[in-house]
Amino acid sequence: MRNYKLTIEYDGSDFYGWQVQPGRRTVQGELYRALEEFGPDAVKVVGAGRTDAGVHASGQVASVKADLELDCVTMRKALNAKLPKDIMIRNAEQVPLSFNARFDAKRRTYQYIFIMRKSALWRRYFLSVPDSLDVDRMHRALLDLPGERDFSSFASAGDDCSSKRCNLMRADLIENKPLLIFEVTADHFLYNMVRAMAGTLLDIGRGREIDLDGIVRARDRSLAGSTLPPYALYLIDVCY
C-alpha cells in the first residue's frame, strides 16, 4: 500500500463539485474511475477541499491510498493519460500512509476573480463587473476580516459544521487590470463563505455603507451581501 499526494488542476465548469455524487460527474469520481483502470483492490481518494459545482482549482490536493507499485512520475503520467481533459495532475509525490490531504492541511487559499468590463471570452471563468468600483474602499474594508472568529454571517444555511469559527489569516485585493482578484487564506472555510464575502466586498466597492467587523460580530447572514456565482472562484493553494 502506498500513499500518493497529488496536486490537481481542474476546470469546474462541467462538474457537480469535487465529492462523489451518485449519477453526477465529479472530480473525485473521475479520479476513482481513472484509478480503477490500474486494478488496485482498494483505493481511497481524499481531497483537501470539497469544492462546489462550477468551482475551479489550480492547487487542489488529494491523498490517494492504493495498492500500487508505480513511482510518482509514472503515476502522474498514467493518470493524466486516463483523466478527461478538464482535469490535470500537476504533481505527484509519495507521502507517509498517515498523511491525509484534508485533515493535515494547515491553510487553504482561494481567489474570487472579477473582470472589470463586459466579456464574452471569460464569462465562464471571471465575474464581469463593468461598473466602476471604489477599490481603495474595498482594500480598507478587508482590514477588518482577519482573525480567529465566528464567521456565521458568511455561511450558507446548508453548512453543517458544528462550529463556525475559522482562523482567517489573510484577505487582500490584487489588481491586475482588467482583473480584480479577492484572495483569502484561512485554516478552513464554511460552505459558500468566500462567495458571500466576495458579494459583500462587491457591495462595498459599489458604495454601500458596510461595517465588515460589525457583520462578523453580529453572526447574522442577512447582514452580508449575496452569494456570488461559483464560476469565478478558484482553490489555488493548500499548505501543510
Burial 57-96 (b: 16+ CB within 10 A, else e): bebbbbbbbbebebebeebbebbeebbeebbbbeebeebe
Active site residue 71: no
Read out DSSP for 83-95?
S-TTEEEEEEEEE
- Measured on CA atoms in the order 212, 218, 220, 223, is the torsion positive or negative? negative
Taken as a whole, the chain contains a residue count of 240
Q: 228 — alpha (psi -120 to 50), left (phi > 0) or beta?
A: beta
Nearest to 156 by CA among 225, 63, 238: 225
Q: Is 78 helix (H, G, I), strand (E, B) or coil?
A: helix
Query: Which residue, 85, 51, 29, is CA-closest to 238?
Result: 51
Catalytic residue among 41, 52, 172, 220: 52
CA-to-CA dists, residue 115 to 59, 167, 203, 233, angstroms: 21, 28, 15, 12
Amino acid found at 104:
D
Active site residues: 52
